[in-house]
Structure 1
Amino acid sequence: MTIRSEPEQDRPDPDLDAIMSERRRLTGLAYRLLGSLAEAEDAVQETYARWYAMSRQQQEAVEVPGAWLTTVAGRICLNVLGSARARRETYVGDWIPEPLPERAEWIGGRPDGAAADPADRVTLDESLSLAFLVVLESMTPAERVAFILHDVFRHPFAEVAEIVGRTPAACRQLASSARRRVRASQPSATPPARHAAVVRDFRRAWEAKDIDALIRLVDPDATAVADGGGLATTFSPPIQGGERIARAWLELARRRPDDMTFAERLVNGQPGLVAQQDGAIVTVFAFQIAGDRIRRIWVVRNPEKLRRWTAG
């Protein structure tokens, strides 16, 4: 965040369009940091409130408004993450990041288009997947912020350090630790077409109540996790083991209401499923695929996390 000590008298007002054009990128950053679009939008709103709370002279002294907004948003998210960890300890059941129905509006990156370095840095598309966001939940707030800002949004460690409040060397270590967590938890990438085919086969086997096909499609070491937030009925604790998951889904199929239907939809940019009842989406299913089998299933039924789906 660069500020001139003596603002130029003839400098025009910061362009409103330029300031507001940062909103999409800031929302994408905050969503990845917080795992909740509602919290992300609140963080971005607070960021803009702080900008417009400054005097004209203070705004003019900001050399790069986009960098200032990113710094403030990053610090707000860091504070929210600290309190969120305490809140999630009292959350009813397992907490899963809020799923998004579409991808395009949440993948905006750094406007200067800086090249990725190192070459294996996570891409913006990859960083949006629910599987990736779940891994982020295992990190400390400082690790998460350093990793997302540097490895995903390509900010140099000098800028990250200003946000996190640590030295660039310490931020480098935080990002390295987070990177190891991601690599250890993510299977080799499955081509999108294959991912979609596995999800489609799973839906068809589920609807046909074909237990043998379900067992073939689910990895023996798979895990299924559900999030109802105490507001919707679901299973708890997580289901471990491919056959147990297959049989649980078979039981769900047998109990399915007559007016409930399943549809294939993108969930955070990857093929997933939704359950619809009376025209409303009541459940979102996200999948992690390894090879030709399902490794993880995330089931989101908390209605507060499905508002984007109901509205859209």
Structure 2
Amino acid sequence: MRLRDVLRAAVVVAGAPAAVAAQDANFLLPVAEIHSILREGEIEVIDVQPSRGLPGERTYRVTLQSGDRVLQIKYAPAGEGADEFNNRPRYELAAYAIQGLFLDEPEWIVPPTAIRALPLDVVRATVARAGDSTVPPEPTFGDWRMTLVALQYWLFNVDLPEDLPDRDLLAEDEVYERLLGNFNLFTYIIRHSDSNRGNFVQSLDPAWPRVFSVDNGVAFASEESDRGTRWRDLRLDRYPVSAIDRLRGVTLEQLQARLGVLVQFEIREGNFTEVEPTENLDPGRGVRRGAERIQLGLTESEIRAIHRRIVRLLEWVDDGRYGLIP
């Protein structure tokens, strides 16, 4: 299928009321369906471009087809070992998981995100379509011809915010205040440490001006970015009571159970296939390898740091340092 035909199909999907009715303005498909496609769907790559339109980038904007669905994704191959600065797939997946602990789906901050273990030749062929200057990906683990790739849905109907926060809108729009409060709680909890322009985008829907975090690779225990850490801290005067109340119920044991093993792959018929997680192979490491098994998750120390930040937040709220949005 030619790209022109694919884009025409995407427009048809976007214009189909049945496909969009249950979604907000930023998703052309139900979130659960997007996530299923990213995790396990049969995908055909139609077009590949550098994410920001510049050659030599490490992430790509990929148009793909899965069955009769057409969507665009961010495609980010891991480096060797899958645990280098600003390229830790496990951090992207952890960020996607954490929002569900205290937010309902219409308020989520991170678009659907998954990790696939793809044959090296497939990843190299995909990346090569972006241009001759692109550096070919290497095996994530040298003795296996496989590359881990973080996949994230490419949002529709968003733009870079001119100001974040928009102080005028914050003063007059309670919906924006609530959504921005959720966003800031999220960036604080994950310790987002990269304020690079382009990491945050805002919906163009005036009725639901949600702010998304679309790059969460510099977070948790990561080194800081040289672009600043503006949203690593709490920056607003008050936060939604619904989110705060749900955070009160989050225990260290729940965090360990949810984040300790985020995804697991095992060799099945010569290929790495996602399987149900088993016992954590090594809580002190984020990337774990067995003879024919790979686990990705947060380390014990990273999880404990999340819990400490939540406890500190609740203490500050209870002490009156921050107000609550009813």
Greater strand fraction, Structure 1 or Structure 2: 2
For CA contacts below 8 A with separation 6 or more, give which structure has more relative contact order. 1
| TM-score, structure 1 as length reference | 0.28
| TM-score, structure 2 as length reference | 0.27
